[in-house]
Structure 1
Amino acid sequence: MATHSRILLLIAVGEFSVGILGNAFIALINFMNWVKNRKIASIDLILTSLAISRICLLYIILLDCSILVLYPDVYATGKQMRIIDFFWTLTNHLSVWFATCLSIFYFFKIANFFHPLFLWMKWRIDRVVLKTLLGCLAFSVFISLPVTKNLNDDFRHCVKAKWRRNLTLKCRIKKTTYASTKIYLNLVTLFPFFVSLISFLLLILSLWRHTRQMQLNASGHRDSSSEAHVGAMKAVISFLLLFIIYYLAFLIATSSYFMPETELAVIFGELIALIYPSGHSFILILGNNKLRQAFLRVFWKVKYILKRRKI
């Protein structure tokens, strides 16, 4: 058990390192452009907020995993772990809501519809980005507060003390309360998920209408609007797929409290969960021209330095 846990922890550290590099790169490039130009575009503000939220989420997941493997006594105390649960729920909601804001922004900036309400919102989208992000932050804090209220101080002790018979019934009640609370709070994240899904479907509809219009005009080549549609759809669909994987990993970690090998199941679930904030960052980098060009410059520069050192 200890050997398996440590191997999984090493893999988690590798995934964490990749995720930190990708998200830190997004935040750093956008921050440098902000300082240079003394202003920041709406898309860069959303991407930076998303990257920062995912950096925090990565740290929380790795911290929880490390404490479970390396410091099990700390894991058994409720006060410290309730704080981790709170920040995990907070960063989880922030990451999902900011990704949804990105999907909505893509939709309004790229889609082509002529409904008056859509045109009005398309015209105002840049003005409400900052307020929307602050609103997501406030809502995420509010929705995360029940984690600190509904968890008993000695619940996590049940994870490490399943062998004590006199705690069996008590722990079973606490596990049920904990699991139901976590599932309820994370069910809330399905709402932004469906909003992103709707944005994706509307982008498909917009691309279909645009392609049809191009065919009627006897223009067979792909124009910039079509390229923008495809790029936005790739970013949104990658988020949707990775979020599904992340959500399944959460279910594994939550239901693990009813499994015989709780610790191993929790670590395995967190290992899968790390794929979402780590992998999506590089998809966003490759899908953004400015970030992609900056990434290629850094890549070739590092490759050149390594090549010279070998010489």
Structure 2
Amino acid sequence: MLEGHTFFFFLVMMVQMLTGILANGLIIVVNTIDMVSRRRMIPLDLLLSCLATSRIILQLCIFFAQLGIFCLAKHSIFTDNVAFVFFINELGLWFATWLGVFYCAKIATIPHPLFLWLKMRISRLIPWLILGSVLYATFTTVALGGEASTVPKQIFLSFFSKNSTQVRPIPAMPLSVFILGLTLPSFIFIVAVLLLIFSLCSHGWKMRTMRGTGEPCRHGHISAILSILSFLILYFSHYMVALVVSTQGFHLGSTAFLFCGLMIGIYPSLHSVILVLGNPKLKQNAKMFIVHCKCSHCARA
């Protein structure tokens, strides 16, 4: 039985999962329909679809993990496949990183030869970046050796263990390699987002000093900066929670542990909702879906 704050966390977790699946499912369906009509998929849609697919899988994995935490399912279902979970999580981080790089290359104005080269070729590089992400995530999950591949499983077994004395410490080298696999895409993402924010702020300041600059233009820059900041906060929070969980510093069922579980689930759901609201095509289809649901509900009533 779930009682008190545990029941509240369980309800929030259910809302997170359903929101994430709906938002990411919308991204996949809309881009697939657009691909069928055009007979090809543009690079941004391809990247968004890969990101949405990885997040749906991650959301379902988080759901099964939290069911085990709440004693509503056997935790072995999750711990026996935890290496796959970390593969999907790292893959999703790479896809989100390349999305940040894509926006930075397309929107930012930085007078540097390397950046100008990237701006001209980023669309053609997207399929190769996706392939490279899959290979890198596979390498860090499988090819690093048996000891390194047991790190994620050992972390989660420590949470499900009732006796802390039975938990074996994780060797420093495999844990360092594991953390490095999460740190590299996070570093690239943070650099790309900070460059984009700096470029937008610089452009907004120039527009503000020019005569005849309208309020809608300034509001547009502020909206874009706030949206990018929300991406950065959610991404960085997810990365920090993953690091904290890796230290095995929480007891199973503690409030801090449950809070970290919620933070892990917020990123793939809320980030995708922001992506839908910030993309005109996805936003329009989301409105059509809501209107269709309302009409169906009224017709049944």
TM above 0.5: yes
The answer to whether 1:132 aligns with 2:105 is no
Structure 1, residues 120-176: CA drift from partner, whole Å, max 9, x if none? 22111111110001101110111122585343999876655544xxx93xx34x1x2
The answer to whether 1:113 aligns with 2:116 is no
Partner of 2:27: 26
TM-score, with length taken from structure 1 = 0.80
- 8 Å CA contact 1:99, 1:239 repeated in 2: no
Structure 1, residues 63-93: CA drift from partner, whole Å, max 9, x if none? 1222343467x53x6xx65542212211111
**1:216-235 mapped onto 2 (5 Å cutoff):** 218-221=211-214, 227=220, 233-235=225-227
- 8 Å CA contact 1:50, 1:99 repeated in 2: yes
Q: Tell me: CA distance 1:132–1:306, structure 2 relative to 1, closer, same or farther (3 Å).
A: same
Identical residues among aligned pairs (%): 29
Partner of 1:205: 198
Q: Tell me: CA distance 1:113–1:301, structure 2 relative to 1, closer, same or farther (3 Å).
A: same
Supply the distance in 1 between the matched residues of 2:160 and 2:209 (Cα, whole angstroms): 67
Supply the distance in 1 between the matched residues of 2:183 and 2:70 (Cα, whole angstroms): 30
Structure 1, residues 194-235: CA drift from partner, whole Å, max 9, x if none? 3222222222332244345445653412687994x6565444
Equivalences, count:
296
Q: Tell me: CA distance 1:180–1:303, structure 2 relative to 1, closer, same or farther (3 Å).
A: farther
Supply the distance in 2 between the matched residues of 1:71 and 1:180 (Cα, whole angstroms): 35
1:274 Cα deviation from its structure 2 partner: 0.4
Supply the distance in 2 between the matched residues of 1:235 and 1:155 (Cα, whole angstroms): 33
Structure label with greater radius of gyration: 1
Q: Tell me: CA distance 1:275–1:285, structure 2 relative to 1, closer, same or farther (3 Å).
A: same
Partner of 1:239: 231
- 8 Å CA contact 1:211, 1:226 repeated in 2: no
- 8 Å CA contact 1:210, 1:226 repeated in 2: no
Supply the distance in 2 between the matched residues of 1:89 and 1:37 (Cα, whole angstroms): 34
Supply the distance in 2 between the matched residues of 1:32 and 1:203 (Cα, whole angstroms): 31
Which range moves more in the overlay, 279-288 or 13-22?
Answer: 13-22
Aligned to 1:218, what secondary structure does the other structure show?
A: coil
**1:1-311 mapped onto 2 (5 Å cutoff):** 3=3, 5=6, 8-70=9-71, 74-75=74-75, 81=78, 83-145=80-142, 146=144, 149-150=147-148, 151=150, 162-163=162-163, 168=165, 171-172=166-167, 174=168, 176-177=169-170, 181=174, 184-214=177-207, 218-221=211-214, 227=220, 233-255=225-247, 257=248, 259=250, 261-264=251-254, 266-310=257-301
Aligned to 1:262, what secondary structure does the other structure show?
A: coil
Q: Tell me: CA distance 1:222–1:66, structure 2 relative to 1, closer, same or farther (3 Å).
A: same
- 8 Å CA contact 1:108, 1:122 repeated in 2: yes
- 8 Å CA contact 1:94, 1:140 repeated in 2: yes
- Please tell me the residue identity of whatever aligns with 1:54: R
- 8 Å CA contact 1:85, 1:147 repeated in 2: no
- 8 Å CA contact 1:23, 1:55 repeated in 2: yes
Q: Tell me: CA distance 1:240–1:210, structure 2 relative to 1, closer, same or farther (3 Å).
A: closer
- 8 Å CA contact 2:200, 2:225 repeated in 1: no
Which range moves more in the overlay, 56-65 or 240-249?
Answer: 240-249
Supply the distance in 2 between the matched residues of 1:187 and 1:134 (Cα, whole angstroms): 20
Aligned to 1:204, what secondary structure does the other structure show?
A: helix
Supply the distance in 1 between the matched residues of 2:171 and 2:259 (Cα, whole angstroms): 19
Which range moves more in the overlay, 204-213 or 92-101?
Answer: 204-213
Aligned to 1:284, what secondary structure does the other structure show?
A: helix
1:8 Cα deviation from its structure 2 partner: 3.4
Q: Tell me: CA distance 1:178–1:12, structure 2 relative to 1, closer, same or farther (3 Å).
A: farther
